[in-house]
Amino acid sequence: MNDRQLQRYARHLLLDGFDEVAQQRLLDATVLVVGAGGLGSPALLYLAAAGVGHLMVADADSVDLTNLQRQVLHTESRIGEAKVTSAAEALSALNPEVRVTPLMQRADASTLPGWLEQADLVLDCSDNYATRHAVNAACVKAKRPLAWAAAVGWEAQASLYDPCQADSPCYACLFPPSAVVADAPCALLGVFAPLVGQAGVLQAGEALKHLAGLGSALARQLWLFDGRSLESQHLQVRRDAQCPVCGQLP
């Protein structure tokens, strides 16, 4: 690290267990973030602020006025602009040293393999089951750690899966692809604005710790949070031996 980086990340370097090697791991890392909306906004801001060297941002949508209640990465002046372009502008202003690659495409079986060849870790900040299952399957196949979260209404949940770790579960162990589950979009149910911030920041924090070699408190755990009562739970998640995605992994 150069002198400017030592100054920028000085408050990290004062932490117990967080040294220059840990910070350099962040500087050298490439992270794919799927979704630049409610969850992706705070997650991306903290990943950039913390010094992740390369952020790949995938989102096919454009900024809408209704997004601004919670999607803090975007501004009213950028309504109608692609979310990935808006994200790149905001992140570059926050930390010019971070390289941002906008990907205005949907994350699916055709796009994810190529993206994951470059990524060290993935954050799933999407808002639908189809994308979550596609991201999960691609991460398991490519052996990439996945930090996942979801939030709607007053409730949020999150977990981290690492297919390189023995017996690690995956998203499909918790939500089988064959299950008939209806998406619960914010457009119908609403969402408490700070809730997506809390979940997205949690995703970013666990991703940063994992990348820095400090482990993750969400590994093999499902975090459940009620934004109205502030009640939270941590439930253990085990690999399902019959899981169609990861059940046959060693």
- Please write the tens of the pLDDT for every residue from 52-65: 999 999 999 999 99
Q: What is the DSSP string of the chain?
A: --HHHHHHTHHHHTSTT--HHHHHHHHH-EEEEE--STTHHHHHHHHHHHT-SEEEEE---B--GGGGGT-TT--GGGTTSBHHHHHHHHHHHH-TTSEEEEE-S--STTTHHHHHTT-SEEEE--SSHHHHHHHHHHHHHHT--EEEEEEEBTEEEEEEE-TTSTT---HHHHS-TTS------HHHH-B-HHHHHHHHHHHHHHHHHHHTTS--TTBTEEEEEETTT--EEEEE----TT-TTTTT--
Residue 183, pLDDT score: 64
Percent of the chain with pLDDT strictly greater than 70: 96
- pLDDT (average), residues 226-248: 92
Of the listed ranges 28-32, 98-102, 105-109, 213-217, the least confidently predicted one is: 213-217
Instruction: Write down the mean pLDDT value for the chain.
Output: 94
Question: 250 pLDDT exceeds 70?
Answer: no
Residue 190, pLDDT score: 87
Distance CA 119, CA 127 (A): 21
Which pLDDT band holds residue 50 (cuts at 50, 70, 90)? very high
- pLDDT (average), residues 92-105: 97
Tell me: the pLDDT tens digits for 99-115? 999 999 999 999 999 99
Bridge partners (DSSP) listed for residue 82: 62
Tell me: the pLDDT tens digits for 166-192? 889 999 999 998 876 666 666 677 899
Tell me: the pLDDT tens digits for 133-164? 999 999 999 999 999 999 999 999 999 999 99
Question: CB neighbours (10 Å) of residue 110?
Answer: 10
- Tell me which residues are annotated as active site: 186
Residue 184, pLDDT score: 63
Residue 198, pLDDT score: 96
Residue 104, pLDDT score: 97
